[in-house]
Structure 1
């Protein structure tokens, strides 16, 4: 009755009784600490500390963590301490060929989507989900052709798989144009086209 008299709870009255029943049950089971308004630990800090594990084990490209107060009404309604609310989304991308020129490696050429803001690591992670032959991501070297137009058309020379190619650094950031279906990469203030093919080597 007290909760029903609160104007801010009027529209939530259907949920009040189940909420009260849940709190009562938790109180009997776990004691008065269930009435605490804050958790005993910093939930956000724990999630951020484990974000790499969560990203990899859930096979996601990226996890953005925000407070419920910064989200829309649906999240504000359903999110509560100890029970984070997940929203999944798919970002548009531009398809690029991933070429592996190593002979007898058992690794195949494939296509993956490059998304705006991608880094070298995010591309390698996405590649490893498509190509299960890649076990150790730290051994993957990502490269681009010096000449993005002619480079992919040249026949690779045995033992010279890196010739005519440049390594992509950790600081590189990828940019896409969905209208033109093109991919550019920026590094140290320089922007360059990468064409429609990247090269990966497993060392």
Structure 2
């Protein structure tokens, strides 16, 4: 696996080493020792999640705060998404900055997003299966988010807003400037 640091400190693009032959392909998608060495931290994942969505579905920008903050290792096993991370650590030099990457079943890339970040994605293909590992358990009272259409973030989701399928809950999320302290 190759670990590529990005401008948002602590986040990494992870590219697998893929072995192709006449039968198809093989790659190691996760190895705790290799992963922890690659990100330079001891991360213990405790929960795996999976979602299925169709073209235009936008999920995000979500996070968990306090003692239930989560690091995530995200990937797509079917289809393609535009994945977004946002730095929510107030003391960070990149606070409020975002990073986007296409994750797909073709490129097999993963994105590691440490605690202190928000996360979201939009489905670019007709259908997508999105999988992610979390290093902390989901806790409803600790969930939070930032509005996907925050003009200060200026995220290019790759589709007009009128074509997005967004939950009512995500439509009500605050803009970053109006959000309460995240505790990061």
Fold equivalence (TM over 0.5) = no
Which protein shows a greater Rg?
Answer: 1
More strand as a share of residues: 2
TM-score, scaled to structure 1: 0.23
Question: Structure 2-normalised TM-score?
Answer: 0.25
- Structure with greater helix percent: 1
Structure ranking higher on relative contact order (CA contacts 8 Å, 6+ apart):
2
